[in-house]
Amino acid sequence: MFFNYNNNNYEVIVTKKNNKNLYIRVDEDFNIKVTCPYFYSKNMVEKVINDNFKSICKMIDKQKNSSKLKQMEKNSYLGKTLNIIYKQVTKPQFHDNLLIVKDDAMIEKWYKIKAKEVFKTYLDEAYQVFEENIPYPKLKIRNMKTRWGVCNRKDNSVTLNLELIKKDQEFLNYVIVHELSHFVHFDHGKEFWLTVEKYCPDYKRVRKELKK
């Protein structure tokens, strides 16, 4: 079964379960996933799809927009789209947001190199601004699925998510200020957020956008 929209056919995948209702969603591969009760026939499913034609079209458009944003962020550097050209080069070449690499492995290596440089610069600048007596932290960088930064007061370290190198600088600055503030207040109480606000006055907006 297929769903036609703007001269494109999208596969309809029907899964029957012991549900009371029918549910429709569009996945990242633009398949139309229909979950329905066992008693639904093919004709019944087709009727529901036809009755919800406009809603499904909106879901497809929303998924396409989401995919574009993810792709842009995947190939970006400090919030700007990174134009990538593949050539037989021995090391990455970068100029005016144009990155020339041999393969995807070279892109990841380049991201790690730039992250060490950029994160260290921002950490140093933020640390020098802090008026509170805090230790100079060791910088660690790694990929994290659920956190943008981690403060470890046992070894006086700050760990930053490698993905921040793809975000606008204001997000990087906020995360660093957030983690340094934990050397002053370990919890997320009122005094902690006042410290964050002291060095990142617009933190509420930045924090909200970072969660999107």
Report the pLDDT averaged over residues 142-165: 96
Tens digits of per-residue pLDDT, 114-143?
999 999 999 999 999 999 999 999 999 999
- In sequence order, the 6+-apart residues with CB closer than 8 A to the CB of 98 are 83, 84, 85
Alpha-carbon gap, residue 11 to 21, rounded angstroms: 21
The confidence score (pLDDT) of residue 71 equals: 55
Residue % of the chain over a pLDDT of 70: 96
Q: Where in the chain is the domain with CATH 3.30.2010.10?
A: 106-210
Band (pLDDT 50/70/90 cuts) for residue 75 is confident
The confidence score (pLDDT) of residue 174 equals: 98
Tens digits of per-residue pLDDT, 164-195?
999 999 999 999 999 999 999 999 999 999 99
The confidence score (pLDDT) of residue 73 equals: 54
Judge whether residue 19 has pLDDT over 70.
Answer: yes
Alpha-carbon gap, residue 100 to 177, rounded angstroms: 33
On whether the CB atoms of residues 179 and 157 are closer than 8 A, the answer is no
DSSP 136: P
Put simply, whether the predicted model's pTM sits higher than 0.85 gets the answer no
Length of the chain equals: 212
Q: Which two tokens stand for residue 135?
A: 């230790």
Judge whether residue 29 has pLDDT over 90.
Answer: no
Judge whether residue 211 has pLDDT over 90.
Answer: no
CATH architecture of the domain formed by 106-210:
2-Layer Sandwich (3.30)
Tens digits of per-residue pLDDT, 34-72?
999 999 999 999 999 999 999 999 999 888 776 655 554
Q: For the chain, how big is the Rg over CA atoms in Å?
A: 24
Phi, psi of 152 (to 5 degrees): -120, 105
On whether the CB atoms of residues 31 and 51 are closer than 8 A, the answer is no
Report the pLDDT averaged over residues 93-119: 94
The confidence score (pLDDT) of residue 67 equals: 61
Residue 189 burial by Cβ neighbours in a 10 Å radius (0-12, 13-18, 19+): exposed
CA-closest candidate to residue 180, choices 152, 205, 144: 152
The confidence score (pLDDT) of residue 72 equals: 47
